[in-house]
Amino acid sequence: MRTSRSETTTTAGGAAPRSSPRPGRQAKGGGPVGSASVSGRNEVVLSGRLGSEAEERELPSGDRIATLRVVVPRPPLPGRRRAGADEPRRATVDTIDVVCWTAVTRRRALRLRAGDLVEVEGALRRRFFGGPAGPQSRYEVEAAALRKVSGGGLAGT
């Protein structure tokens, strides 16, 4: 199985650039918002509980990575049917795969315990790899920064 970091390019999502941006408003990188030099932005900020402890592994390329899953509660959508008073309410969550490529983020990830509340900053990446059914892909967050917000909510952590 071959795994590698893939390069992902994002675009402005089809929004037409402003012909005259508001004075003083700057995009990251110094140019005004809506200028031709801003081609897109790929930033992710997650805050949630660690589903299980991080796993470290070595790729065939020799790179070492740590992978973890962050469970993020999803607020109910307005206008959705609510469960009756006698029905148990199920929590709706998103489980996000996070990969740590740098030594700093790997070390931090490996010190975390299941149930810890964490905050992750990074970028969304699409990774391609070979599987039993042929080529496959997966989206994950590549962590640039990772920090523990508070201790675990599970027994024994």
Give me the pLDDT at residue 4, please. 43
What residue numbers bound the domain in which 104 lies? 44-76+90-148
The answer to whether position 3 is within a domain reads no
Tell the residue number behind the tokens 């070979």, with chain if given. Answer: 130
Give me the pLDDT at residue 153, please. 53
The pTM is what? Answer: 0.66
* Cβ atoms within 10 Å of 90's Cβ, excluding its own: 7
Give me the pLDDT at residue 75, please. 83
101 versus 22: which is more confidently predicted?
Answer: 101
Give me the pLDDT at residue 9, please. 39
The answer to whether position 7 is within a domain reads no
- Count: domains in the chain: 1
> Residue 82's pLDDT band (boundaries 50, 70, 90)?
low
The answer to whether position 118 is within a domain reads yes
> CB burial class (10 A; 0-12, 13-18, 19+) of residue 2?
exposed
> Residue 129's pLDDT band (boundaries 50, 70, 90)?
confident
Tell me the CATH number at 101.
Answer: 2.40.50.140
> Residue 120's pLDDT band (boundaries 50, 70, 90)?
very high
Mean pLDDT of the chain: 78
The answer to whether position 57 is within a domain reads yes
CA distances from 25 to 17, 18, 31, 32, 67 (A): 14, 12, 9, 6, 37
